Amino acid sequence: MFPDLIKRPRRIRNSNIRDLVKESQLSVDDLIYPLFVVHGEGIKEEIPSMPGNYHWSLDLVMDEIEELVDLGIKAVILFGIPESKDPQGSNAWAEEGIVQQACQKIKEKYPELLVITDVCLCQYTDHGHCGILEDGKVKNDPTLELLAQTAVSHARAGADMVAPSDMMDGRVGAIRQGLDENGFEDVSIMAYSAKYASSFYGPFRDAAHSAPQEGDRRSYQMDPANSREAIKETALDIEEGADIVMVKPALSYLDIIKEIKEEFNYPVAAYNVSGEFSLIKAATEKGWVNEKEIVLEMLLSMKRAGTDLILTYFAKDVAEWLREE
């Protein structure tokens, strides 16, 4: 009458056992919070497609950082919005550039906070591409020098870690060399290694005013159809000196995270990008999903796939939710 069931997987799902057999866990230590900084004073302007995220002037961003630190968040990544753009993106490495000023100011008051900077030219070039443009083509090798110069200027301003997101070939090596030649051997590199040409960046490009004026980024960002390339890019970045490798976006690329973790057993970061954030925000506003539960489940899936660090616009909420539990 009864089936002869010796194996009953349900046994370990009892509430008193469940926690003991948990394989992955999300912690506030995993989180990196992205911040958008702008020139000026008294500016806290909400980004329409990314509710709860703002353009901050440096006077006001300090209050936000105090909140983050109080929540136990240990790392931020800075994105700058410059006052003016030109073909080379020279404000990316300007001594008084917005990210450089932000690093100085933040590290002065919060020396313990890990300050990471995004290294790219697209917010700074008038054409919106991540490298130098010649005859409608993004030129790889001449761009490397500018990226290295940008990374060095961030390090000089106090950045602890630089994160190249441009996807030019050889940028990690060029940046490592630039940093070392200038005495910044201790500044680490988190490489956007497997960065896909993704539609999930839409809200960010509104936020950072960095959409390409013409064409798209498919000549340098990876094809969503491919995974071999992700392995190749990551191997090169590690060879060139990356300390942490990143997969971006995260949610549609969990297979890539897993493959990279298994292949290299290296610290892996996942970028829970703007589009992934905004989809959940919009559905939450409609009352269609439970925001807290869905966000925690989503980030946990990244951990399960092999992620060590998560860059997420939900970091503050997550820190609060984890504290409640």
Known binding-site residue numbers for 5-aminolevulinate: 205, 217, 274, 313
Contact 172, 144 (CB under 8 A): no
> Per CB under 6 A, does 270 bind ligand PBG?
no
Nearest position to ligand PBG, beta carbon: 204
Which of 32, 122, 151, 305: binder of ligand PBG (CB under 6 A)?
122
130, 138, 172, 310: residue in contact with ligand PBG (rule CB under 6 A)? 130
CB-nearer residue toward ligand PBG: 117 or 234? 117
Residue 44 annotated among the catalytic residues of the structure: no
Binding residues for ligand PBG, rule CB under 6 A, total: 12
Supply 119's token pair.
């290294």
For residues 45 and 62, give the distance between their C-alpha atoms in angstroms, rounded to a whole number. Answer: 15
CA 42 to CA 305: how far, in whole Å? Answer: 41
Q: Does 205 bind ligand PBG (CB under 6 A)?
A: yes
| Residue 153 found at the interface with ligand PBG (CB under 6 A) | no
Burial tier of 204 (Cβ tally within 10 Å: 0-12, 13-18, 19+):
buried
165 binds ligand PBG (CB under 6 A): yes
Which residues are annotated binding-site positions for Zn(2+)? Answer: 120, 122, 130
Q: Does 120 bind ligand PBG (CB under 6 A)?
A: yes
Q: How far is the C-alpha of 129 from the C-alpha of 125, rounded, in Å?
A: 7
Task: Tell which positions 211-230 bind ligand PBG, by CB under 6 A.
Answer: 217
Set 248, 261, 303, 316: catalytic member: 248
| CB burial of residue 21 (10 Å; 0-12, 13-18, 19+) | exposed
179 belongs to the binding site for ligand PBG (CB under 6 A)? no
User: In this structure, are residues 193 and 242 in contact, taking their beta carbons and an 8 Å threshold?
Assistant: yes
* Contact stretch for ligand PBG (CB under 6 A) within 80-88, 174-182, 202-210, 302-310: 202-210
The count of C-alpha atoms lying within 13 angstroms of the C-alpha of 108, restricted to the half-sphere facing its C-beta, is 9
- CB-based contacts of 308, cutoff 8 Å, min separation 6: 30, 244, 267, 268, 269
Catalytic residue among 85, 105, 195, 303: 195
Q: What is d(CA 102, CA 80) in angstroms, rounded to the nearest whole number?
A: 9
Stretch that binds ligand PBG, among 56-64, 65-73, 103-111, 115-123 (CB under 6 A): 115-123
Interacting residue with ligand PBG among 30, 118, 240, 259 (CB under 6 A): 118
Contact (Cβ atoms closer than 8 angstroms) between residue 274 and residue 313:
yes
Neighbouring CB atoms inside 10 A of 140's CB total: 17
For helices 315-324 and 291-305, angle between their N-to-C axes, nearest 10 degrees? 100
Query: Binding of ligand PBG at residue 194 (CB under 6 A)?
Result: no
- Interface region with ligand PBG, contact rule CB under 6 A, candidates 14-22, 117-125, 172-180, 254-262: 117-125
Question: Which range, of 109-117, 135-143, 198-206, 237-245, touches ligand PBG by CB under 6 A?
Answer: 198-206
Contact residues: ligand PBG, CB under 6 A: 118, 120, 122, 130, 165, 201, 204-205, 210, 217, 273-274
Q: Would you please indicate which residues are annotated as catalytic (active-site) residues?
A: 195, 248
